[in-house]
Structure 1
């Protein structure tokens, strides 16, 4: 049987999602995108999975859209019906960014176009020293997709985001760290090991608190301080009710290491959180 374009493996509470088109440097064709939508939906909704690693097999993380497939779709007009940005890229990025658990990208080799969009939609990134990053869109007469107009701008600031997309130049892992895209650079042989170790540490942590933190950070730049303060109060009120918080406070006072179950907070009747 042919290899699946996306493989999912679970070890303990960590799910590893791997793009599997190594000969094409994990270019995003239709089967891969459809499989990735399904895979991220599955691991995101699985309460037994408390952290996720996203990576690519072979010499590259992901080179973005498969341009051979795209060229054929332009010839036949199929691109108009595929609506791949709406039907594939947007759901993929939404799943990564809003998943109620941490997601770590293990990035090596080429990470460009929508590949960079996938990496920046994750919460944390471990970059290999051989990572080459870029947007690549203007080189083919296009603009941002996969959420990069938001995630890149938030990571590096508006001025540098314009430099990156308008110049169309690639940059290395050291620059990515200096600009705020990632915080860890390791040798290529260690990138997946380090990402797994980070995910395992996060999977043992307070999953509900991580989810609340993701929601607050995502909304922080789009709403007034007063609204954010109210949202923080609601999130904290819910988390205070969790066994994870109450147990961690007892452990702190007893000078013990807390153990987190990752269970969601109880929801009082009629309540809702942003």
Structure 2
């Protein structure tokens, strides 16, 4: 399938989606949203896909919204930003967080505005040493969207979340790692090899187990301990009925490497 704003390919169980508007730091337009949503939906539904890797082409990961895509002539009504969030950014975040497969993000440069929060919505974030994260919304009198006000306090605590949202500092990849915003920082020239290697390795593992783990971790943010223990019980019950659990036990007893099917 041909795309104009992204590159998308499936190989060895990994769907690789590259944002591909490098001249605009991969900022989002309405057309790009459509293509990303279509590719991620395909990745979610295709059984051959067992891991997803999201990255950007060029010198930046994503600068968020392309403001030129919202430009209006003098005298015309300003665009409804809530409508843009509802139709474009919210579905994207729900696709990433609800994906029943691991989603790895390789941040190859600046991740600003919605671009930062799209990256942080992924399961595992690996950043190049030259990458940075900027909650730039406050520079325009806006709030962090794309799940930013939900995920930032959970990653870095409320005090730092307020600072990020209201001051908009540029956070280096190393600072983001130290704060627990992301999983790992690697040298720039090792980014894609590291991210692809991880995605390919995860694509051979028990995919449904990853889905159950994502579900349990998401539920934990609002559950009491007793409620979470019940969630764990039910998900363990479901996990114990999967092919991959049975294969893992059998392989352990037979002293061999397991062959998981993602089932």
Common fold, TM-score beyond 0.5?
yes
Q: Which residue is equivalent to 2:179? A: 179
Aligned residue for 1:215, secondary structure, equals helix
Q: In the alignment, does 2:24 pair up with 1:24?
A: yes
Aligned counterparts of 2:241 and 2:69: Cα–Cα separation in 1: 51
Aligned counterparts of 1:81 and 1:165: Cα–Cα separation in 2: 18
Unaligned segments of structure 2, at least 5 residues: none
- For each residue in 1:136-158, what CA deviation from the matched residue of structure 2 results, as whole angstroms up to 9, or x when unmatched? 00001100100011112111111
Matched positions, count? 262
Instruction: Compute the TM-score of the two structures, normalised by the length of structure 1.
Output: 0.91
CA RMSD of aligned residues (A): 1.7
1:129 is displaced (CA, Å) by 0.6
Structure 1 range deviating more: 2-11 or 142-151: 2-11
Aligned counterparts of 1:75 and 1:168: Cα–Cα separation in 2: 30
1:114 is displaced (CA, Å) by 0.4
1:254 is displaced (CA, Å) by 2.7
Q: Which residue is equivalent to 1:113? A: 113
Q: Which residue is equivalent to 2:199? A: 199
Contact 2:3 2:35 survives alignment (8 Å): no
Aligned residue for 1:146, secondary structure, equals coil
| Structure-to-structure mapping, 1:1-274, within 5 angstroms | 4-72=4-72, 76-77=76-77, 79-80=79-80, 83-263=83-263
Unaligned segments of structure 1, at least 5 residues: 264-274
- For each residue in 1:197-251, what CA deviation from the matched residue of structure 2 results, as whole angstroms up to 9, or x when unmatched? 1101111000000000000101101111122111111111111111210111121
Aligned residue for 2:53, secondary structure, equals strand
Instruction: Compute the TM-score of the two structures, normalised by the length of structure 2.
Output: 0.95
Contact 2:124 2:182 survives alignment (8 Å): yes
- Moved >4 Å (runs of 4+): none
Aligned counterparts of 2:74 and 2:48: Cα–Cα separation in 1: 42
1:84 is displaced (CA, Å) by 1.1
Aligned counterparts of 1:81 and 1:171: Cα–Cα separation in 2: 26
